[in-house]
Structure 1
Amino acid sequence: MIRLTLLSLALLAFAPPAGAQEVIGLEQMLEWTLREHPIAAMADAVEARGPAELLKAKGAFDPKLAAAYDRKEYLGTEYFDYGSAGVEWQSPYALKLAGGYEFSSGTYLNDERTVPEAGQAYLAIKLPLLQGLLTDAVRIDRRLGDIAVERQLALANIIRNELRYDLSLRYAEWRYAERALQIARETEELIRIRLDNTIGLFEQGDKPAVDTLEARVALGSQRLTVAELKVDADLARQALAELYWPMPATARPATPPAEFTVLPTRPDWVSGHPDLLELQFTLSGYQLEQRLKREQLKPQLDVSYYLLGNGLDLPAGDDQFGGPFDRAYKLGATASYPIFNRKANASVQLGQLKITEGEAKLADKTQALQFKAAAYADASETFRQQFTDAEILVTQATRLLAAERELFSLGESTQFLLNSREQSLQKALLTAEKARFSLHKSVLTYRYVTAGW
């Protein structure tokens, strides 16, 4: 019988576990979540909008091809036949260049559109002399495109920072819930073993029946605590699984990583914080728009010069008609200016108000983040000291329980005192874990506030 029992114990000892638990670390979860989760995909899409906006702004400098054809014929009479084709290019500066070819024929032609029989090639230069000379909407949009790349990256990093914090905090809550459940289960097992021992001593006549009753009550109470903590652990696991989808049912948390307990040493975190960068780039955009609005206070005076040809020969004619640029050309100028120009003045005022609001938001956000960072740094040190003190209490409670068990085995203590010692140890263990969780939470929040991962 003894051999059979030993053989059974050996088989149980070396048998594979029925439900092997997989240890999952935070880095593994972060790697998957930041790559596969829809919120991470949204952050990637937000970041990709920046280059798309820049490409759109650059499109204003693409050469533009254009063609037009207009013909009228009535009862056998060709009234007119007009055609044109050309290309126009806006340079990165105020200058605009154009070139093309026009032809016309028919009985009734507009004098302005009449060209030589061979058609007429032309080269054109267009230049604003006042409004639009220093800057214009096209150039401002180009610079806004550069800002959009950085601003969208900052917005994407804001989303990633929040996602990383949310996942890390849920991981810390899951670890705390699992650890609290583990402590409660260990205490339950100790109480169960003591109950069995007490029953044995009672049957031998060494303990009164009331001791077995107290042990049973303690075991029942502890089982209720375990059931409650099991619910908390399951809820924490489900909350974590919302972000980390491939969460195994038997997973258990790993040892807390360094970012749970160590504050990052980044004194210059303000300069690289995504929330502040987003506000800075938004403010830079307001300032660029203000430049354009101030430019629109100027009068509009645009000039254009067309070098005309005969057919494809540029310029038309020969030297007897003058130099190459003054014997066949077309010159034009347009000017305009609103008498009161109230629209442009109001736009400048509104633009300045937007800049003021942007500066205020940036200053307020910077101040708020700095105060929060300092507060959570102080809180982390406080919780670190509390955790150290709680570990000392655990050591003391463990020693007291060991001494009480020794006295109980010698018959010099009671079941009530032993229960009190066990409850004190469990309370000390839970207090230590709570202090550890508070430390983890404060450090993670500090990293979130400073975006220092």
Structure 2
Amino acid sequence: MNRTAIILAFFCVFGSQAVLAQNDQGQLLTFEQYMSWVKNEHPLAKNARLLVDQAEGNLRSARGSFDPQLYGGVNQKRFAGSEYYHISEYGLKVPTWFGIEGKVAYEYNRGTYLNPENNVPENGLLVAGIKVPVGKRLFMDQRRAQLRKAQAMTNMSQAERTLELNQLLQDAASAYWKWSQANALLNIDQNALELTQERFEGIVQSYLGGDLPAIDTTESFLSVQQQQVKVIDARQMVIEAKMELETFLWKDEVPLELEDDMQPQDLTDEVKTKEIVNDSAQSWLNNIYNLHPKLKMNRAKIQQAQIDRRLKLEKLKPQLDLSYNYLSGYDDYENAELQRAYLNNNYKFGIDFKMPIFIRDGRGEVAAANAKLDMANFEMSSEMLNVKNKLNAAINKLINLNEQLNIQTEAVINYERLLEAEEIKFDNGESSVFLINSRQMKLVSAQEKLTELQRKHKIAQTKVMELSGVLFRQF
């Protein structure tokens, strides 16, 4: 290169550097703010909450089976000017948890051709009764089974919501730290470009002073160009990472875009969580049965299968229902003896009995319910092992990343020392531009490797919390 070409290259590099070096600090979007926003506003998070609302609605519906019930009815016949009969009954039935049903009713019947069985006093008849299942349905019936299964389904829906939230927040955390790493890489490349530019400036001055050959300016200029290309690539990576991050940002079901000057939290910053990962990981492993949403879902399935089995077992019992109704239809008595006689002798009592001979229907349903329960238990055992192994692997990965981070941090420091030493040797005429560029390339590579490890470490921390089932509680 002649002197004119070198000077032109000098000004071209400085002009492009002025553009490439733009990097305002801008606003800061912290990791905690971002994760809280995703948890509260993302459509998938809202959809997960609807699962719980739906289950709670079904639970409320199941509880309705135990609501007191008003009833009433009239049956009347008139023909040829005569009232054959008028039969009416109004009352209140009150079901209870133990299968016992209470009843309070009022009967009023009249008519020329009224069945004698339906005769009541002139002012009507008050009835207070109770019905008790002694055999089948004593310990479990359809209403109780429906309510118990709805309660288990509510627990399952809450666990499913937690599982979906954990997975969503883990994906969101990965996108955030990818954005943070992209910004860190851009800063590394811009710093390297500034150093390369300063070196090129010094080499040009040395060449103009006759201390260095022209080929050194060419080699230094190529290094500047290579670093400029890396800065452009790094800027593109930031744009792509930012766009990926924006897929997790919503407000009122409308996607949001970040401001151009928005910046992420630095990879080296400590992330505050409600639970310390390194100290809590082993305790989470020990308590995984109670913490992990998948295992909670499996427990709910087992509960439902157990309820089904208890209900089917009732079919093996004979049906034996007892009913008693106290009747009251008189207001006045001549003496206390008549009152006592009335209280003791006015009632209706009934016994209903039914029992299939072979009970094949009941035995078949019990066998199917037993198989369903065994399948749920086997699924629980398999899922328990799977979750434990995944959490164990995540904990070991986090431990290994801690060690790698410490080693790589020291390596970056050593590469910086080597570059400084090489620059001193170059100033003393004992090194070359090639060696300095080589040292700088190794330093940049080490710094890039460090940011990669920092990103993986941050993601590994949230992964441990996700696999423990507690990530959603942190934000």
TM-score norm. by structure 1 comes to 0.87
CA contact (8 A) 2:92 2:105 kept: yes
Question: Using a 3 Å threshold, how does the CA distance of structure 1 residues 261 and 439 change in structure 2: closer, same or farther?
Answer: farther
**Which residue of the other structure, out of 379, 384, 387, is the alignment partner of 1:366?**
384
The answer to whether residue 98 in structure 2 is matched with residue 93 in structure 1 is yes
Question: Using a 3 Å threshold, how does the CA distance of structure 1 residues 449 and 52 change in structure 2: closer, same or farther?
Answer: same
Q: In the aligned structure 2, how far is the partner of 1:75 from the partner of 1:408?
A: 129
Letter in 2 for 1:252: Q
The answer to whether residue 263 in structure 2 is matched with residue 252 in structure 1 is yes
| 1:426 Cα deviation after fit | 0.5
Letter in 2 for 1:263: N
Give the secondary-structure state (helix, strand or coil) at the position aligned to 2:323.
strand
Structure 2 unmatched runs, 5+:
1-21, 251-255
The answer to whether residue 278 in structure 2 is matched with residue 263 in structure 1 is yes
Give the secondary-structure state (helix, strand or coil) at the position aligned to 1:435.
helix
Within 5 A, what are the aligned runs for 1:137-152?
137-152=142-157
Q: In the aligned structure 2, how far is the partner of 1:314 from the partner of 1:296?
A: 48
| 1:428 Cα deviation after fit | 1.0
Q: For each residue in 1:384-436, what CA deviation from the matched residue of structure 2 results, as whole angstroms up to 9, or x when unmatched?
A: 21121111221111111112222333333222222111111101111111222
CA contact (8 A) 1:307 1:314 kept: no
Q: In the aligned structure 2, how far is the partner of 1:20 from the partner of 1:433?
A: 19
**Which residue of the other structure, out of 116, 134, 141, is the alignment partner of 2:139?**
134
Q: For each residue in 1:305-335, what CA deviation from the matched residue of structure 2 results, as whole angstroms up to 9, or x when unmatched?
A: 2222326x599x9855984455222222222
Q: In the aligned structure 2, how far is the partner of 1:390 from the partner of 1:335?
A: 81
Residue 397 of structure 2 corresponds to 379
CA contact (8 A) 1:37 1:243 kept: yes
CA contact (8 A) 1:393 1:428 kept: yes
Structure 1 unmatched runs, 5+:
1-16
Question: Using a 3 Å threshold, how does the CA distance of structure 1 residues 234 and 264 change in structure 2: closer, same or farther?
Answer: farther
Question: Using a 3 Å threshold, how does the CA distance of structure 1 residues 427 and 152 change in structure 2: closer, same or farther?
Answer: same
Structure 1, 259-268 or 380-389: larger mean CA deviation: 259-268
Question: Using a 3 Å threshold, how does the CA distance of structure 1 residues 147 and 314 change in structure 2: closer, same or farther?
Answer: farther
**Which residue of the other structure, out of 274, 277, 286, is the alignment partner of 2:293?**
274
TM-score norm. by structure 2 comes to 0.83
Residue 70 of structure 1 corresponds to 75
Q: In the aligned structure 2, how far is the partner of 1:243 from the partner of 1:106?
A: 75
Q: In the aligned structure 1, how far is the partner of 2:419 from the partner of 2:68?
A: 86
CA contact (8 A) 1:119 1:310 kept: yes
CA contact (8 A) 1:120 1:310 kept: yes
The answer to whether residue 239 in structure 2 is matched with residue 234 in structure 1 is yes
| 1:261 Cα deviation after fit | 9.0
Give the secondary-structure state (helix, strand or coil) at the position aligned to 2:28.
strand
Question: Using a 3 Å threshold, how does the CA distance of structure 1 residues 261 and 98 change in structure 2: closer, same or farther?
Answer: closer
Within 5 A, what are the aligned runs for 1:276-355?
276-310=295-329, 319=337, 323-324=341-342, 326-355=344-373
Q: In the aligned structure 1, how far is the partner of 2:225 from the partner of 2:270?
A: 32
Structure 1, 369-378 or 322-331: larger mean CA deviation: 322-331
Residue 427 of structure 2 corresponds to 409
Letter in 2 for 1:39: L
Letter in 2 for 1:250: D
Q: In the aligned structure 1, how far is the partner of 2:148 from the partner of 2:107?
A: 36
CA contact (8 A) 2:220 2:433 kept: yes
Letter in 2 for 1:251: M
CA contact (8 A) 1:188 1:219 kept: yes
Count of matched residue positions in the alignment of Structure 1 and Structure 2:
435
Structure 1, 442-451 or 261-270: larger mean CA deviation: 261-270
Structure 1, 142-151 or 270-279: larger mean CA deviation: 142-151
Within 5 A, what are the aligned runs for 1:117-196?
117-196=122-201
The answer to whether residue 445 in structure 2 is matched with residue 427 in structure 1 is yes
| 1:64 Cα deviation after fit | 0.5
CA contact (8 A) 1:40 1:160 kept: yes
| 1:286 Cα deviation after fit | 1.4
Q: In the aligned structure 2, how far is the partner of 1:305 from the partner of 1:187?
A: 94
| 1:50 Cα deviation after fit | 4.6
Question: Using a 3 Å threshold, how does the CA distance of structure 1 residues 262 and 148 change in structure 2: closer, same or farther?
Answer: closer
| 1:348 Cα deviation after fit | 0.9
Question: Using a 3 Å threshold, how does the CA distance of structure 1 residues 110 and 198 change in structure 2: closer, same or farther?
Answer: farther
CA contact (8 A) 1:136 1:292 kept: yes
Letter in 2 for 1:56: S
| 1:262 Cα deviation after fit | 4.2
| 1:47 Cα deviation after fit | 2.9
